[in-house]
Amino acid sequence: MSSTPAMNRQAKAARRPPSKILLDGGDPGETKHIRDLLGFVDGQTTNPTLIAKNPEVARLVKSGQPMSENQEAAEYRTIVRQISPLVGDAGVSIEVFADLDTTADAMLEQGREMNSWIPNAYIKYPCTAQGLKAAQRSVAEGLRVNITLCFSQSQAAAVYAATKGAKAPVYVSPFIGRLDDIGQNGMDLIANIKRMFAAGDGHVLVLAASIRSLQHLLCSFHYGAELVTVPTKVLEEWAQTGMPLPDASYSYPPTGKAIAWEELDLNRPWESFDIRHELTTKGIQKFVADYRSTLRQAS
Ligand code: E4P
């Protein structure tokens, strides 16, 4: 069965997988395209790299028009306001600007501001000590959060412990593709976190991120990730192949070094988990560089 124009919106929507589908992108035009293609988009995730690639931001940068930090924020706000009404109840994740020195206070201030942009915002904080402090205070204030750049089971455990009592579901985003990039089996992290959270109270949902292939997507469904965030190219491939779902005989083609399961007690204080990870640090540095490149080239 293939997804053709003849496959109407209702038929396509009926093929919804068990995981909510979020588009990983920064262009509202792509959101409309994917909504037409699939018949639905449950939510969207953005980040500084994706916003730098937004056609209007790229045009401003290319034309050499100076863009201050305030103007960049205004562009980001315009983009998420266009995306917001196009998606379902998984909301739009908006990422705070954070370098390695940004304090929890500074992140929280940005988070509050970004939360006022749209009614369905999820504020993205990095999985660092300052990011988790900001997240802890955010959920106490009723903000919805998505903890990004998660590369280990310990980091996911810390997210769980830091956000206990949250009224809205908390998202944690383990990055599959970037673990594959360093020779590990990124899918194992999804499996391990899901297994660990099975002993918890269900307040943190796994948002499988850094999905680079159809196999990543199918295996995320298979492992029961509550949400997946997927780039346009992979969603197009999924649609072109008839929006397949893994059946009972599904198995993921082995890739990379296995990531070992850890026995972790979710009741420990979040500060007691080792949340350091080189890919979290590198990820922050890359987001900072992409964000600053738009300012530097525009001024
Ligand atoms: C989503 O929240 C992430 O920012 C995104 O999935 C990262 O994907 P990448 O590793 O392909 O950049």
Cβ of 229 less than 6 Å from ligand 1: yes
CATH architecture of 17-292: Alpha-Beta Barrel (3.20)
Which residues on neighbouring strands pair with residue 92, listed in sequence order? 44, 121
Q: Which two tokens stand for residue 227?
A: 């949400």
Average pLDDT, the chain: 94
- For the question of residue 124 being annotated catalytic, the response is yes
Rounded to an integer, the average pLDDT of 142-158 is 98
User: Considering only CA atoms, which residue is closest to atom 10 of ligand 1?
Assistant: 210
Cβ of 220 less than 6 Å from ligand 1: no
In tens, the pLDDT along 7-63 reads 666 677 667 899 999 999 999 999 999 999 999 999 999 999 999 999 999 998 888
User: Considering only CA atoms, which residue is closest to atom 8 of ligand 1?
Assistant: 210
Which residue type is seen at 7? M
User: Considering only CA atoms, which residue is closest to atom 12 of ligand 1?
Assistant: 210
Do the beta carbons of residue 256 and residue 49 sit within 8 Å? Answer: no
Confidence of residue 280 (pLDDT cuts 50, 70, 90): very high
pTM: 0.94
**Rounded distance from Cα 240 to ligand 1 centre (Å):** 22
In tens, the pLDDT along 102-116 reads 999 999 999 999 999
Number of H helices and E strands in the chain, helices first, is: 13, 8
